[in-house]
Amino acid sequence: MTDPLLEVHDLKTQFFTEEGVVRAVDGVSFTVEPGEIVGLVGESGAGKSVAAQSILRLVERPGEIVDGEILFRGDPLVQFEERAGKLRPTEEMLTNDEMRKHIRGREIAIIFQDPMESLNPVYTVGGQLREFIEINRDMGEKEAKALAIDMLREVGIPEAAERYSDYPHQFSGGMRQRVLIAMALSCEPSLIIADEPTTALDVTVEAQILELVDDLQEKYGTSFIWVTHDMGVVAEITDRVNVMYLGEIVEQAEVDDLFHDTKHPYTDALLDSLPRPDQTVEELNPIAGVMPEAINPPSGCRFHPRCPDARVVCTRIHPDNRIVDSDGAPHRAACLKNDEVFDVGYWESEPIELQAGTGFGAGLAEDRGGAGE
List binders of other proteins among 99-158 (CB under 8 A).
153, 156, 158
Nearer to other proteins, 91 or 283 (CB): 283
DSSP 304: G
> In terms of C-beta density within 10 A (0-12 exposed, 13-18 middle, 19 or more buried), how is residue 139 classed?
middle
Do 246 and 47 touch, CB atoms closer than 8 A? yes
Q: Is 329 in the site for other proteins (CB under 8 A)?
A: no
Of 139, 290, 312, 344, the residue at the interface with other proteins (CB under 8 A) is: 290
> Which of 20, 286, 308, 328 is the binder for other proteins (CB under 8 A)?
286
H/E stretch holding 177 reads: helix 173-186
Report, in this order, helix, strand and coil percent for the chain, each rounded to 5: 35, 25, 45
Residue 17 touching other proteins (CB under 8 A): no
Using the rule CB under 8 A, give the single segment among 89-97, 229-237, 310-318, 320-328 that binds other proteins: 229-237
Question: Does 275 interact with other proteins (rule: CB under 8 A)?
Answer: yes
371 lies in the site for other proteins, by CB under 8 A? no
Does position 167 interact with other proteins (CB under 8 A)? The reply is: no
Which member of 87, 274, 329, 371 binds other proteins (CB under 8 A)?
274
Distance between CA atoms of residues 28 and 205, nearest Å: 32
Distance in Å, CB of 238 to other proteins, minimum: 8
In contact, 335 and 301? CB cutoff 8 Å: yes
Considering the rule CB under 8 A, would residue 312 count as an interface residue with other proteins? no
- Does the CA dihedral 307-294-275-355 come out positive or negative? positive
Residue with Cβ nearer other proteins (234 or 310): 234
How far is Cα 241 from Cα 252, in angstroms, rounded to an integer?
6
**Residue 280: alpha-carbon gap to chain centroid:** 30
Question: What residue ranges bind other proteins (CB under 8 A)?
Answer: 43-44, 153, 156, 158-159, 172, 174-175, 202-208, 210-211, 229-237, 255-256, 259-260, 269-271, 273-278, 280-281, 283-287, 290-291, 359-361, 364-366, 368, 373
